[in-house]
Amino acid sequence: MHLGLISAMEQEQTGLLALLQSPRRETCGMREYVTGMLGGTRCTCVLSRWGKVAAAATATMLIERFGVTHILFTGVAGAASRGVAVGDIVIASSLVQHDMDASPFFPRFEIPLLGVAQFAADATLSERLARAAQRFVEQDAPTLLSADERSAFSMREARVHHGIIASGDQFIGSQARLDMLREQLPGLLAVEMEGAAVAQVCHEFGLPFGVVRTISDDANEHAPVDFMRFVERVASRYTLGIVTRFCMP
Ligand code: ADE
């Protein structure tokens, strides 16, 4: 396995590069790709920046230039279901581009001329991710944050969920917008801005992929503040815990 590891922001991957053995750096397309060994797994880590185009370009480069055989996207997301709370982990079963609308020519959400609206994540990768996330939640998460930090983020005991993630070129910070998405996409658990773009590229190249997201906010009017606070203080600890367990089972 040669694993491509993508996050959108530096704060979502902080500390990961320091764990890579024999790292080799290469810059192309305004991004730095770092290849090395993590446990027994060969990894290429990269920051995509925000949004679907950035994520798609990054995934394509990982596949075509670096020859990765699997892709994992890790980062944060907004909660889109009542059972999902800040600090929980969502593993994608499938991903949809919530801003794709070529109706009346194609059904809502369907990618024109590809005939797919929801891209299924790889079941084996996702099961391995779920095991890593569950071990992280049981072993690390309880001591990861102080009591003060937990109450500042209104966090309860973290849970791991498996379900639909929607991506779009829009930060969701409105309860009305979120309610509309929830109505249009039954079973939706989380919203973010990159996963379904990586999913489309992997579908087109026939590559297995997985997406794991930690919930940073409730995608409502409080989201911009909650998101920034979570990203600055917590997000990378989740990535490190989950990815190291994934790579060193
Ligand atoms: N990533 C984290 N929170 C998000 C939100 N509310 N909308 C879109 N992407 C996000």
Q: Encode pLDDT of 50-65 as tens digits.
A: 999 999 999 999 999 9
The amino acid at residue 131 is R
> What is the value of pTM for the model shown?
0.96
Indicate whether residue 90 lines ligand 1 (CB < 6 A).
no
- How confident is the model over 75-129, as pLDDT tens digits? 999 999 999 999 999 999 999 999 999 999 999 999 999 999 999 999 999 999 9
Q: How far apart are CA 5 and CA 74, in angstroms?
A: 7
- Of the listed 192, 217, 218, 226, which one is catalytic? 217
Could you tell me the pLDDT band of residue 26, with boundaries at 50, 70 and 90? Answer: very high
Indicate which residue's Cα is closest to atom 1 of ligand 1.
77
For residue 242, pLDDT beyond 80: yes
- Tell me whether the omega of the peptide bond preceding residue 104 falls within 30 degrees of 0, making it cis: yes
Indicate whether residue 172 lines ligand 1 (CB < 6 A).
yes
Q: How far apart are CA 88 and CA 216, in angstroms?
A: 9
List Cα–Cα distances, 22 to 45, 162, 239, in angstroms: 13, 34, 21
- How confident is the model over 163-190, as pLDDT tens digits? 999 999 999 999 999 999 999 999 999 9
Domain at 2-247, CATH class: alpha beta
Pocket test for ligand 1, best of 96, 165, 193, 220 (most atoms within 8 A of CB): 193
Indicate whether residue 86 lines ligand 1 (CB < 6 A).
no
Q: How far apart are CA 218 and CA 32, in angstroms?
A: 31
Indicate whether residue 132 lines ligand 1 (CB < 6 A).
no
Does residue 217 have an active-site annotation?
yes
Share of the chain above pLDDT 90, in %: 86
List Cα–Cα distances, 145 to 37, 48, 64, in angstroms: 28, 27, 39
Q: What pLDDT does 249 receive?
A: 67
Query: What would the two tokens of residue 234 be?
Result: 């917590």
Indicate whether residue 230 lines ligand 1 (CB < 6 A).
no
ipTM, two decimals, is 0.99
Domain extents in the chain: 2-247
Q: How far apart are CA 32 and CA 28, in angstroms?
A: 7
DSSP states of 80-127: -STT--TT-EEEEEEEEETT---TTTS-TTPBTTTTBSEEEPPHHHHH
Q: How far apart are CA 61 and CA 84, in angstroms?
A: 33
Does residue 99 have an active-site annotation?
no
Q: How far apart are CA 173 and CA 231, in angstroms?
A: 16
Reduce the DSSP state of residue 15 to 3 states and report it. coil
Q: What pLDDT does 141 receive?
A: 74
